[in-house]
Structure 1
Amino acid sequence: MPIRFIHTSDIHLGKTYRSGGAAGERYGDFFATFAAIVADAIREKVDFVLIGGDLFHTGQILPKTFAKTIEILQPLKDAGIPCIAVEGNHDWIHRRDSVSWMEALSQLGYICLLRPSRTTDGGYRFDPFDAEEGSGGYLEVAGVNVYGLGYIGSQAGTHIERICQAVATRRNILLFHVGVWSYSPVEIGNIKPEEALPLADCFAYVALGHGHKPYIVETPEGRPYAFNPGSPECVNFGEERYDKGYYLVTMDDDGVSHLFKASSPRPMLVLTVDLDGALDAGEALERFGARMRERLDAQTDQRAPLIEARLIGKVAFHPFELSRDRLRCALEDIRQPLHLEIKNHLSQISSSGGEEKVKKSLAEIERDVLGELIRANSSYRDRESELIELSLALRDLVLKGDVEGEELLGLLLRGGGSCD
Structure 2
Amino acid sequence: MTITFLHTADIHLGKTYRNNIGEAERYEDFFRMLGRIVSDAIAERVDFVLIAGDLFHTGQILPRTFARTIETLQSLKDNRIPCIAVEGNHDWIHRRDSISWMEALSQMGYIHLLRPSRTETGGYRFDPFDYEQGMGGYIEVNGINIYGLGYIGTQAGTHVPRICEAVTTKNNILLFHVGVWTYSPVEIGNMKPEEAHPLADAFDYVALGHGHKPYIIATPEGRPYAFNPGSPECVNFGEEKYDKGYYLVTVEDGVFTHEFRPTSPRPMLVTTIDLDGAADAEAALVRFRDQVAAKIASFSDDRQPLLEIKLTGRVGFHPFELGRERLRLALEEICNPLHVEIKNHLSLVTAGGGAESEKKSLAEIEREVLRELVSAKSEYKDQEDELVRLSLAIRDQVLKGEVDGEELLGLLVSYHEGTKSTKETA
TM-score w.r.t. the length of structure 2 is 0.96
Match of 1:169 in 2: 169
Within 2, Cα distance between the matches of 1:295 and 1:314?
22
SS of the equivalent of 1:330 reads helix
The answer (yes or no) to whether the contact 2:171–2:254 under 8 Å persists in 1 is: no
Match of 2:277 in 1: 277
Runs of 4+ in 1 over 4 A off after TM superposition: 352-356, 416-419
Alpha carbons of structure 1 residues 97 and 353: separation in structure 2 relative to 1, 3 Å:
closer
The answer (yes or no) to whether the contact 1:350–1:356 under 8 Å persists in 2 is: no
Counterpart mapping for 1:3-402 below 5 A: 3-352=3-352, 357-402=357-402
Within 2, Cα distance between the matches of 1:353 and 1:299?
38
Alpha carbons of structure 1 residues 59 and 356: separation in structure 2 relative to 1, 3 Å:
same
Within 1, Cα distance between the matches of 2:354 and 2:160?
66
Alpha carbons of structure 1 residues 406 and 312: separation in structure 2 relative to 1, 3 Å:
same
Within 2, Cα distance between the matches of 1:41 and 1:302?
27
The answer (yes or no) to whether the contact 1:7–1:247 under 8 Å persists in 2 is: yes
The answer (yes or no) to whether the contact 1:6–1:246 under 8 Å persists in 2 is: yes
TM-score w.r.t. the length of structure 1 is 0.97
Within 2, Cα distance between the matches of 1:410 and 1:339?
24
The answer (yes or no) to whether the contact 1:215–1:227 under 8 Å persists in 2 is: yes
Cα offset, 1:352, TM superposition? 5.0
Within 1, Cα distance between the matches of 2:4 and 2:355?
71
1:155-196: CA deviation from partner (whole Å, max 9, x where unpaired): 000000000000010000000000111211111111111111
1:223-254: CA deviation from partner (whole Å, max 9, x where unpaired): 11100000000000110000000000001225
Within 2, Cα distance between the matches of 1:398 and 1:355?
34
Cα offset, 1:320, TM superposition? 1.4
Within 2, Cα distance between the matches of 1:353 and 1:117?
67
Q: Percent identity?
A: 70
SS of the equivalent of 2:409 reads helix
Alpha carbons of structure 1 residues 185 and 414: separation in structure 2 relative to 1, 3 Å:
closer
Within 1, Cα distance between the matches of 2:412 and 2:331?
37
Query: Which deviates the most, 192-201 or 365-374?
Result: 365-374
The answer (yes or no) to whether the contact 1:232–1:245 under 8 Å persists in 2 is: yes
Alpha carbons of structure 1 residues 394 and 182: separation in structure 2 relative to 1, 3 Å:
same
The answer (yes or no) to whether the contact 1:178–1:210 under 8 Å persists in 2 is: yes
Cα offset, 1:407, TM superposition? 2.0
The answer (yes or no) to whether the contact 2:11–2:233 under 8 Å persists in 1 is: yes
The answer (yes or no) to whether the contact 1:390–1:416 under 8 Å persists in 2 is: no
The answer (yes or no) to whether the contact 2:146–2:173 under 8 Å persists in 1 is: yes
1:102-144: CA deviation from partner (whole Å, max 9, x where unpaired): 0000000000000000000000000000011000000001110
The answer (yes or no) to whether the contact 2:188–2:414 under 8 Å persists in 1 is: no
The answer (yes or no) to whether the contact 1:172–1:203 under 8 Å persists in 2 is: yes
Residue type of the alignment partner of 1:294: A
* Unmatched segments (≥5 aa) in structure 2: 421-426
Aligned residue-pair number:
419
Within 1, Cα distance between the matches of 2:355 and 2:15?
50
Cα offset, 1:354, TM superposition? 9.3
The answer (yes or no) to whether the contact 1:349–1:356 under 8 Å persists in 2 is: no
Within 2, Cα distance between the matches of 1:354 and 1:62?
54
Alpha carbons of structure 1 residues 7 and 414: separation in structure 2 relative to 1, 3 Å:
closer
Within 2, Cα distance between the matches of 1:162 and 1:249?
27
Query: Which deviates the most, 331-340 or 78-87?
Result: 331-340
